[in-house]
Structure 1
């Protein structure tokens, strides 16, 4: 990574990326001591809004831009001038706090019914059937979900909608569709709330679940624990979205591939091909080049347990990053 860049760059968005972003900022700033990169983990919705209104020069989002958001981004970047690529790939853990229990097996239907509020006790027969050796208490289940608009929420809902469509019927969005449950702001918020209560369950980027118990998810007849490797396989075997512009690389995730961990989020980095001034353009180009590099991806993996991008994806996204310049 080349050094010598200077100035201040501000971005924001997905809180799932926070641990990885701290590693990226540290690595980039070590090589460029006169440069400062700020990142506000406001959530994916806030990141997309801030990028679309020009508040952020780059952003992170756990969901791809929809048509309306892309139009807002193009108003800032120019038509065809939006760069969108997978910077961070991570499993989303279904995490719980239940004394004496570190891991449980759950099929998709069980997970969907728990988060809908239809399964309300930890010793429910649906949970017990897949965990015959577990000592399950009659403790009530408390669901904790994100209170903010969240790409992690959208990914989790998309998983449920895809694998348990007869149970989870709400169209996926970044807003939680079930009323009356406990909620908290950001990834750290839901993890903290889950850690503070007995019998809680939540969904969160796996890098931040700490000492909570986690669910091995049923897929293809087996139960699969989360791991960076199992998440990477989902991305490797899923197709690139068709019909996008040249520098938009988004992925249509296949969530039912045997042997993979199906609840995975692809967190996208957002930028423009053209900026108003040379300093900003060089900072964005340098920083996102580091994010996408083999070195940057390894730094994120070491810090957050994320799945490094494949060389194939890296080669596909680098031309967009290298195109960044001042208008």
Structure 2
């Protein structure tokens, strides 16, 4: 152990927060297989795996909650001495908790911005350590709806922006009818539901609106909903889904994996209408560059919402970790968990449970190197 880490305190979440996602995910989980890249610390049949013990605390993105539960179940099945608690309180809460040192890792539907990065800014990290943004989860954001008598809905970007900015207020508006020939819409007010919390899902959704419909959506991308545009608010992904489900003539946005039986909008991308599939979301990520000026192992992405033929409203959720942890034992656990998360098995398990798009082989190799650099 490095001397600078001996006795380093680590702030912890309150018991109430940790209880939101418990280690009961072990139950019924199938044993994991060796992650891609060899017999690393996430492999179940090695001495390293059997000797791992301790607790990790994570907090953040509710959109990747299903994936986190799946990864936790698989990892704990292979490493019975480890307990991982993840609280899906929203991306903003996750970033704040990681910055303060209240958790060992965070999940966020956007990367840390340049002004949020910097050595010495993160409580669990050493004074000379920055954070790493690792894109571990790719998922389309679905525009969900519950409209009387309407089963299918196609919208272009300007119309979506008009609805959510409050400029289009009734379901029989000509702009909606223009892309939905033969569909009869009710003469009823639109209830547009947005997130009330600081949310990476909101930031990705508003980034799409700002890029694809700049003449209608006049606000910049932000995790907090612009007050000027109004609408009905709800807490978290589950809150938006519940509000759209329980309301009348409603529309909202949520991670596609949690859309349930609600109607899903098919969005115009270029000259075609594209649905929120994992494959089309992956195209968006493959065509997007890495943010310039970051460290060697940081993979924050600049998503290009105008990529031809791609589904433009996808989120990339990041695992946020330290380059160098104050506590060596925490670093070992984080490395092992991240290795499983990015492995072929981890990605496929999440896809089966959450419907996300697995990261590409190229990105997997980059993230493996990043994980190996954690100390």
Give the C-alpha shift of residue 103 in structure 1: 2.2
Report the equivalent of 1:236: 286
- What are the Cα deviations for residues 271-321 of structure 1, in whole angstroms up to 9, with x where unaligned? 012223332111111111111111111111111100000011111121221
Q: 2:353 aligns with which of 289, 303, 326?
A: 303
Contact 1:105 1:218 in 2 (8 A): yes
Give the C-alpha shift of residue 75 in structure 1: 4.1
Give the C-alpha shift of residue 64 in structure 1: 1.3
Report the equivalent of 1:318: 368
Give the C-alpha shift of residue 67 in structure 1: 2.8
CA distance in 2, matches of 1:119, 1:269: 37
Give the C-alpha shift of residue 73 in structure 1: 6.5
SS in 2 for 1:174: coil
- What are the Cα deviations for residues 125-154 of structure 1, in whole angstroms up to 9, with x where unaligned? 111111012121112110111000001101
Q: Map of 1:171-186 to 2, 5 A cutoff?
A: 171-179=220-228, 180-186=230-236
Report the equivalent of 1:87: 136
Contact 1:102 1:212 in 2 (8 A): no
Q: Map of 1:1-327 to 2, 5 A cutoff?
A: 1-2=42-43, 3-4=49-50, 5-71=52-118, 74-76=121-123, 77=125, 78-179=127-228, 180-325=230-375
CA distance in 1, matches of 2:120, 2:197: 21
Contact 2:122 2:130 in 1 (8 A): no
SS in 2 for 1:119: coil
CA distance in 1, matches of 2:319, 2:298: 10
- What are the Cα deviations for residues 18-37 of structure 1, in whole angstroms up to 9, with x where unaligned? 01111001000110111111
State the TM-score, normalizing by the size of structure 1.
0.96
Contact 1:241 1:251 in 2 (8 A): yes
- For CA contacts below 8 A with separation 6 or more, give which structure has more relative contact order: 1
CA distance in 2, matches of 1:101, 1:8: 48
CA distance in 2, matches of 1:48, 1:75: 10
Contact 2:257 2:356 in 1 (8 A): yes
Give the C-alpha shift of residue 80 in structure 1: 4.8
Which has the higher Rg, Structure 1 or Structure 2?
2
Contact 2:61 2:88 in 1 (8 A): yes
Contact 2:119 2:130 in 1 (8 A): no
Give the C-alpha shift of residue 254 in structure 1: 1.1
CA distance in 2, matches of 1:66, 1:73: 15
Contact 2:98 2:122 in 1 (8 A): no
- What are the Cα deviations for residues 105-135 of structure 1, in whole angstroms up to 9, with x where unaligned? 1000000000011111111111111101212
Contact 2:155 2:176 in 1 (8 A): yes
State the TM-score, normalizing by the size of structure 2.
0.84
RMSD of Structure 2 on Structure 1 (CA): 1.4
CA distance in 1, matches of 2:315, 2:168: 25
Gaps of 5+ in 1: none
SS in 2 for 1:171: coil
